[in-house]
Copies of this chain bind each other. A is one copy, B any other.
Protein backbone atom coordinates (compact mmCIF):
# COMPACT_ATOMS: atom_id res chain seq x y z
CA UNK A 1 0.00 0.00 0.00
CA UNK A 2 2.90 2.29 0.80
CA UNK A 3 4.46 1.45 -2.58
CA UNK A 4 1.24 2.31 -4.34
CA UNK A 5 1.07 5.68 -2.57
CA UNK A 6 4.70 6.40 -3.53
CA UNK A 7 4.13 5.48 -7.18
CA UNK A 8 1.09 7.77 -7.25
CA UNK A 9 3.06 10.55 -5.56
CA UNK A 10 0.59 10.84 -2.66
CA UNK A 11 1.07 10.95 1.07
CA UNK A 12 0.57 7.72 3.04
CA UNK A 13 -1.09 8.07 6.45
CA UNK A 14 -2.27 4.54 7.39
CA UNK A 15 -5.13 4.12 9.82
CA UNK A 16 -3.91 2.37 12.94
CA UNK A 17 -7.33 1.50 14.37
CA UNK A 18 -7.29 -1.79 12.47
CA UNK A 19 -4.42 -3.16 14.52
CA UNK A 20 -4.09 -0.70 17.41
CA UNK A 21 -0.80 -2.40 18.22
CA UNK A 22 2.56 -0.86 19.09
CA UNK A 23 4.28 -3.87 17.53
CA UNK A 24 2.49 -3.68 14.17
CA UNK A 25 3.09 0.07 14.25
CA UNK A 26 6.83 -0.68 14.37
CA UNK A 27 6.59 -2.58 11.08
CA UNK A 28 5.15 0.56 9.51
CA UNK A 29 7.88 2.68 11.06
CA UNK A 30 10.56 0.36 9.68
CA UNK A 31 8.95 0.74 6.25
CA UNK A 32 9.34 4.52 6.51
CA UNK A 33 5.90 5.60 7.67
CA UNK A 34 5.93 8.67 9.89
CA UNK A 35 2.31 9.92 9.83
CA UNK A 36 -0.71 8.01 11.08
CA UNK A 37 -4.48 8.10 11.39
CA UNK A 38 -6.42 7.01 14.47
CA UNK A 39 -10.11 6.94 15.38
CA UNK A 40 -10.09 8.14 18.96
CA UNK A 41 -8.27 10.47 21.30
CA UNK A 42 -7.37 7.44 23.45
CA UNK A 43 -5.72 5.78 20.45
CA UNK A 44 -3.88 9.00 19.60
CA UNK A 45 -2.52 9.18 23.15
CA UNK A 46 -1.43 5.55 22.96
CA UNK A 47 0.56 6.04 19.76
CA UNK A 48 1.90 9.44 20.87
CA UNK A 49 3.33 7.65 23.90
CA UNK A 50 5.07 5.24 21.48
CA UNK A 51 6.79 8.17 19.81
CA UNK A 52 4.50 8.88 16.83
CA UNK A 53 4.64 12.62 16.12
CA UNK A 54 2.16 13.26 13.28
CA UNK A 55 -1.36 12.09 14.03
CA UNK A 56 -4.78 12.73 12.46
CA UNK A 57 -7.79 11.82 14.60
CA UNK A 58 -10.24 10.93 11.82
CA UNK A 59 -13.33 11.04 14.01
CA UNK A 60 -15.63 14.04 14.53
CA UNK A 61 -14.15 16.03 17.41
CA UNK A 62 -15.63 15.05 20.77
CA UNK A 63 -15.58 18.33 22.68
CA UNK A 64 -15.78 16.47 26.00
CA UNK A 65 -12.20 15.32 25.47
CA UNK A 66 -10.68 18.79 25.10
CA UNK A 67 -8.22 18.33 27.99
CA UNK A 68 -6.69 15.22 26.44
CA UNK A 69 -6.70 16.92 23.03
CA UNK A 70 -4.79 19.87 24.46
CA UNK A 71 -2.24 17.52 26.02
CA UNK A 72 -1.75 15.87 22.63
CA UNK A 73 -1.58 19.13 20.70
CA UNK A 74 1.28 20.16 22.98
CA UNK A 75 3.19 16.98 22.16
CA UNK A 76 2.60 16.09 18.51
CA UNK A 77 1.59 17.51 15.15
CA UNK A 78 -2.14 16.96 15.54
CA UNK A 79 -4.95 17.13 12.99
CA UNK A 80 -8.58 17.17 14.10
CA UNK A 81 -11.81 16.55 12.20
CA UNK A 82 -14.55 19.15 12.09
CA UNK A 83 -18.03 19.16 10.63
CA UNK A 84 -19.95 21.62 12.82
CA UNK A 85 -19.67 25.32 13.55
CA UNK A 86 -20.35 24.61 17.27
CA UNK A 87 -17.30 22.35 17.39
CA UNK A 88 -14.93 24.76 15.69
CA UNK A 89 -16.19 27.61 17.91
CA UNK A 90 -15.44 25.48 20.95
CA UNK A 91 -11.99 24.68 19.61
CA UNK A 92 -11.21 28.31 18.81
CA UNK A 93 -11.97 29.14 22.41
CA UNK A 94 -10.34 26.19 24.19
CA UNK A 95 -7.37 25.00 22.13
CA UNK A 96 -4.09 25.71 23.93
CA UNK A 97 -1.56 24.71 21.25
CA UNK A 98 -1.35 24.87 17.46
CA UNK A 99 -3.30 22.20 15.56
CA UNK A 100 -4.53 21.44 12.07
CA UNK A 101 -8.03 20.51 11.10
CA UNK A 102 -9.73 18.79 8.21
CA UNK A 103 -13.35 19.37 7.28
CA UNK A 104 -15.22 16.10 6.91
CA UNK A 105 -17.10 15.82 3.61
CA UNK A 106 -19.89 13.33 2.95
CA UNK A 107 -19.32 12.05 -0.58
CA UNK A 108 -22.21 9.58 -0.42
CA UNK A 109 -21.69 7.28 2.58
CA UNK A 110 -24.22 9.35 4.55
CA UNK A 111 -22.69 8.55 7.93
CA UNK A 112 -20.92 11.77 8.89
CA UNK A 113 -19.64 14.84 7.11
CA UNK A 114 -20.95 17.93 5.38
CA UNK A 115 -22.75 17.55 2.10
CA UNK A 116 -20.41 18.97 -0.60
CA UNK A 117 -23.06 21.37 -1.86
CA UNK A 118 -23.34 23.02 1.57
CA UNK A 119 -20.47 25.42 0.99
CA UNK A 120 -22.36 27.79 3.27
CA UNK A 121 -21.61 25.47 6.21
CA UNK A 122 -18.01 25.03 5.11
CA UNK A 123 -17.59 28.80 4.81
CA UNK A 124 -19.02 29.23 8.29
CA UNK A 125 -16.46 26.81 9.78
CA UNK A 126 -13.58 28.44 7.87
CA UNK A 127 -14.72 31.88 8.98
CA UNK A 128 -14.83 30.91 12.66
CA UNK A 129 -11.47 29.12 12.44
CA UNK A 130 -9.79 32.14 10.85
CA UNK A 131 -9.88 33.93 14.22
CA UNK A 132 -7.01 31.69 15.36
CA UNK A 133 -3.75 31.87 13.41
CA UNK A 134 -2.52 28.64 15.03
CA UNK A 135 -5.53 26.62 13.86
CA UNK A 136 -4.64 25.50 10.36
CA UNK A 137 -7.16 24.43 7.75
CA UNK A 138 -5.53 21.37 6.15
CA UNK A 139 -8.20 20.44 3.64
CA UNK A 140 -11.11 18.08 3.03
CA UNK A 141 -11.29 14.53 4.31
CA UNK A 142 -13.75 11.82 3.40
CA UNK A 143 -14.36 8.16 4.11
CA UNK A 144 -16.25 6.49 1.26
CA UNK A 145 -17.50 3.72 3.53
CA UNK A 146 -20.23 2.87 1.02
CA UNK A 147 -17.54 0.74 -0.68
CA UNK A 148 -18.03 -1.71 2.22
CA UNK A 149 -21.42 -2.49 0.67
CA UNK A 150 -19.99 -2.89 -2.82
CA UNK A 151 -20.21 -6.15 -4.72
CA UNK A 152 -17.00 -6.22 -6.69
CA UNK A 153 -14.18 -4.13 -8.08
CA UNK A 154 -16.29 -2.35 -10.69
CA UNK A 155 -18.63 -0.92 -8.08
CA UNK A 156 -15.71 0.06 -5.83
CA UNK A 157 -14.12 1.91 -8.76
CA UNK A 158 -17.38 3.68 -9.56
CA UNK A 159 -17.77 4.88 -5.94
CA UNK A 160 -14.14 5.95 -5.81
CA UNK A 161 -14.55 7.95 -9.01
CA UNK A 162 -17.69 9.69 -7.73
CA UNK A 163 -15.97 10.62 -4.48
CA UNK A 164 -12.83 11.97 -6.06
CA UNK A 165 -14.80 14.03 -8.59
CA UNK A 166 -16.74 15.64 -5.71
CA UNK A 167 -13.55 16.34 -3.76
CA UNK A 168 -11.74 17.81 -6.77
CA UNK A 169 -14.64 20.18 -7.39
CA UNK A 170 -14.43 21.37 -3.79
CA UNK A 171 -10.68 21.83 -4.11
CA UNK A 172 -11.15 23.92 -7.24
CA UNK A 173 -13.75 26.03 -5.48
CA UNK A 174 -11.53 26.76 -2.47
CA UNK A 175 -8.07 26.76 -4.07
CA UNK A 176 -7.84 30.54 -4.50
CA UNK A 177 -8.26 31.14 -0.77
CA UNK A 178 -6.43 27.94 0.26
CA UNK A 179 -3.93 27.02 -2.46
CA UNK A 180 -2.29 24.34 -0.28
CA UNK A 181 -5.40 22.48 0.86
CA UNK A 182 -5.23 18.69 0.76
CA UNK A 183 -7.73 16.03 -0.21
CA UNK A 184 -7.55 12.97 2.02
CA UNK A 185 -9.41 9.72 1.31
CA UNK A 186 -9.49 6.61 3.42
CA UNK A 187 -11.40 3.45 2.67
CA UNK A 188 -9.43 0.25 2.10
CA UNK A 189 -11.56 -0.97 -0.85
CA UNK A 190 -10.89 2.19 -2.91
CA UNK A 191 -7.22 2.30 -1.93
CA UNK A 192 -6.87 -1.39 -2.84
CA UNK A 193 -8.63 -1.31 -6.19
CA UNK A 194 -8.28 2.19 -7.67
CA UNK A 195 -5.41 3.28 -9.88
CA UNK A 196 -6.57 6.83 -10.58
CA UNK A 197 -5.89 9.18 -7.66
CA UNK A 198 -5.85 12.45 -9.63
CA UNK A 199 -6.07 15.42 -7.30
CA UNK A 200 -5.87 13.29 -4.15
CA UNK A 201 -3.06 14.24 -1.77
CA UNK A 202 -3.30 11.57 0.92
CA UNK A 203 -4.68 8.05 1.54
CA UNK A 204 -5.56 6.66 4.99
CA UNK A 205 -6.42 2.95 4.57
CA UNK A 206 -6.33 0.76 7.68
CA UNK A 207 -8.00 -2.58 7.21
CA UNK A 208 -5.54 -3.66 4.47
CA UNK A 209 -2.96 -4.46 7.15
CA UNK A 210 -4.88 -7.68 7.90
CA UNK A 211 -7.75 -7.72 5.38
CA UNK A 212 -10.60 -10.15 6.18
CA UNK A 213 -13.53 -12.12 4.73
CA UNK A 214 -15.61 -8.98 4.25
CA UNK A 215 -12.88 -7.44 2.08
CA UNK A 216 -12.71 -10.65 0.03
CA UNK A 217 -16.48 -10.53 -0.49
CA UNK A 218 -16.32 -6.85 -1.49
CA UNK A 219 -13.49 -7.51 -3.94
CA UNK A 220 -10.65 -5.62 -2.24
CA UNK A 221 -8.41 -8.64 -1.90
CA UNK A 222 -8.06 -12.37 -2.28
CA UNK A 223 -8.21 -15.00 0.50
CA UNK A 224 -4.45 -15.34 0.44
CA UNK A 225 -4.12 -11.66 1.41
CA UNK A 226 -5.83 -12.21 4.78
CA UNK A 227 -3.11 -11.81 7.39
CA UNK A 228 -4.86 -12.77 10.61
CA UNK A 229 -6.46 -15.90 11.98
CA UNK A 230 -7.83 -16.75 15.40
CA UNK A 231 -6.73 -20.16 16.67
CA UNK A 232 -9.64 -21.70 18.61
CA UNK A 233 -9.54 -24.97 20.60
CA UNK A 234 -12.09 -27.69 19.84
CA UNK A 235 -14.07 -28.41 23.02
CA UNK A 236 -16.86 -30.66 21.70
CA UNK A 237 -18.19 -32.44 18.61
CA UNK A 238 -21.74 -33.40 17.67
CA UNK A 239 -21.88 -36.08 15.00
CA UNK A 240 -25.67 -35.99 14.66
CA UNK A 241 -25.51 -32.34 13.57
CA UNK A 242 -22.00 -32.44 12.04
CA UNK A 243 -21.07 -29.56 14.35
CA UNK A 244 -17.81 -28.75 16.07
CA UNK A 245 -17.90 -26.57 19.20
CA UNK A 246 -14.92 -24.25 19.66
CA UNK A 247 -13.76 -22.02 22.48
CA UNK A 248 -14.10 -18.84 20.44
CA UNK A 249 -17.20 -16.66 20.70
CA UNK A 250 -18.55 -13.16 20.34
CA UNK A 251 -16.10 -11.90 22.98
CA UNK A 252 -13.22 -13.02 20.76
CA UNK A 253 -14.39 -12.60 17.16
CA UNK A 254 -17.20 -9.98 17.42
CA UNK A 255 -20.67 -10.71 16.10
CA UNK A 256 -20.05 -9.37 12.59
CA UNK A 257 -21.30 -11.74 9.89
CA UNK A 258 -21.61 -12.10 6.14
CA UNK A 259 -24.42 -13.67 4.16
CA UNK A 260 -23.32 -16.14 1.52
CA UNK A 261 -25.14 -16.51 -1.80
CA UNK A 262 -27.79 -18.72 -0.10
CA UNK A 263 -28.39 -16.21 2.69
CA UNK A 264 -26.55 -18.37 5.25
CA UNK A 265 -24.89 -16.32 7.99
CA UNK A 266 -21.12 -16.78 8.04
CA UNK A 267 -19.33 -15.66 11.23
CA UNK A 268 -15.94 -16.89 10.01
CA UNK A 269 -14.33 -19.40 7.71
CA UNK A 270 -11.78 -22.09 8.40
CA UNK A 271 -8.24 -22.35 7.11
CA UNK A 272 -5.45 -24.88 7.65
CA UNK A 273 -1.73 -24.50 8.15
CA UNK A 274 0.57 -25.37 5.27
CA UNK A 275 4.31 -25.00 5.03
CA UNK A 276 3.93 -21.76 3.13
CA UNK A 277 1.23 -20.22 5.33
CA UNK A 278 -2.42 -21.03 5.46
CA UNK A 279 -4.79 -22.52 2.93
CA UNK A 280 -7.79 -21.11 1.09
CA UNK A 281 -10.94 -21.59 3.20
CA UNK A 282 -11.80 -25.24 3.74
CA UNK A 283 -14.79 -26.05 1.54
CA UNK A 284 -18.19 -26.85 3.02
CA UNK A 285 -17.23 -25.78 6.56
CA UNK A 286 -18.10 -22.45 8.20
CA UNK A 287 -18.50 -20.77 11.57
CA UNK A 288 -22.29 -20.80 11.77
CA UNK A 289 -23.07 -19.13 15.08
CA UNK A 290 -21.49 -17.39 18.03
CA UNK A 291 -22.59 -17.00 21.60
CA UNK A 292 -20.56 -15.21 24.25
CA UNK A 293 -17.71 -17.75 24.46
CA UNK A 294 -18.80 -20.59 22.15
CA UNK A 295 -18.55 -20.86 18.39
CA UNK A 296 -20.43 -23.51 16.43
CA UNK A 297 -18.80 -24.75 13.23
CA UNK A 298 -21.06 -26.42 10.68
CA UNK A 299 -19.14 -29.11 8.88
CA UNK A 300 -21.15 -31.07 6.32
CA UNK A 301 -17.61 -31.78 5.10
CA UNK A 302 -17.23 -35.16 6.82
CA UNK A 303 -13.50 -35.43 6.19
CA UNK A 304 -12.91 -32.23 8.14
CA UNK A 305 -15.41 -33.23 10.82
CA UNK A 306 -13.85 -36.65 11.37
CA UNK A 307 -10.34 -35.25 11.58
CA UNK A 308 -11.18 -32.60 14.22
CA UNK A 309 -10.40 -33.82 17.74
CA UNK A 310 -11.09 -32.31 21.16
CA UNK A 311 -8.05 -30.17 21.99
CA UNK A 312 -7.16 -29.40 18.34
CA UNK A 313 -6.78 -25.79 17.29
CA UNK A 314 -9.02 -24.63 14.44
CA UNK A 315 -7.99 -21.53 12.55
CA UNK A 316 -10.74 -18.99 11.95
CA UNK A 317 -10.51 -16.33 9.25
CA UNK A 318 -12.46 -13.40 10.75
CA UNK A 319 -15.27 -11.51 9.01
CA UNK A 320 -14.07 -8.10 10.23
CA UNK A 321 -10.45 -8.09 11.35
CA UNK A 322 -10.58 -4.60 12.90
CA UNK A 323 -13.17 -5.71 15.47
CA UNK A 324 -11.48 -9.06 16.10
CA UNK A 325 -8.06 -7.47 16.57
CA UNK A 326 -9.59 -4.81 18.82
CA UNK A 327 -11.13 -7.44 21.10
CA UNK A 328 -8.14 -9.79 21.16
CA UNK A 329 -5.46 -7.13 21.56
CA UNK A 330 -4.76 -8.05 25.17
CA UNK A 331 -5.87 -11.66 25.23
CA UNK A 332 -4.06 -14.90 24.67
CA UNK A 333 -6.06 -18.07 24.31
CA UNK A 334 -4.29 -21.40 24.54
Contact surface of A with B, Cβ cutoff 8 Å: 17, 39-40, 59-65, 83-84, 86-87, 90, 110-112, 115, 145, 233, 235-238, 240-241, 245, 247, 250-251, 254-256, 289, 291-294, 296, 309-311, 313, 322-323, 326-327, 334
Contact = CB atoms under 8 A, between A and B. Distances in A.
Contact of A254 (B60, B236, B254): B254
Contacts of A293: 17, 39-40, 59
B64 A233 contact: yes
B323 A250 contact: yes
A84 B17 contact: no
B240 A115 contact: yes
Contact of A60 (B240, B245, B250, B323): B245
B292 A235 contact: no
A309 B89 CA distance: 14
Contact of A310 (B86, B110, B247, B251): B86
A289 B112 CA distance: 12
Nearest to A20: B251
Contacts of A251: 323, 326-327
Contact of A235 (B60, B294, B323): B60
Contacts of A87: 235, 310
A111 B245 contact: yes
Contact of A84 (B236, B323, B326): B236
Given A293-B17, A334-B65, A59 B323 contact: no
A255 B250 CA distance: 9
B292 A63 contact: no
A292 B39 CA distance: 9
B255 A323 contact: yes
A290 B65 CA distance: 21
Question: Ordered nearest first, which 7 A-B pairs have the shortest CB separation?
Answer: A60-B235, A63-B311, A255-B255, A60-B236, A39-B293, A86-B310, A62-B233
Nearest to A17: B292
A241 B17 contact: no
20 contacts: A39-B293, A40-B293, A59-B247, A59-B294, A60-B235, A63-B233, A64-B233, A65-B334, A83-B236, A86-B310, A90-B311, A110-B241, A112-B236, A112-B238, A112-B245, A112-B294, A250-B323, A251-B323, A254-B254, A255-B323
A22 to B, nearest CB: 17
A112 B238 CA distance: 8
Nearest to A83: B236
A261 to B, nearest CB: 21
A311 B89 CA distance: 13
Given A115-B240, A254-B254, A292 B84 contact: no
Among A145, A310, A313, which residue has the most Cβ atoms of chain B within 10 A? A310
Contacts of A292: 17, 39, 322-323, 326
A310 B84 contact: yes
A312 to B, nearest CB: 9
Nearest to A84: B310
Contacts of A62: 233, 235, 247, 311
A59 B145 CA distance: 38
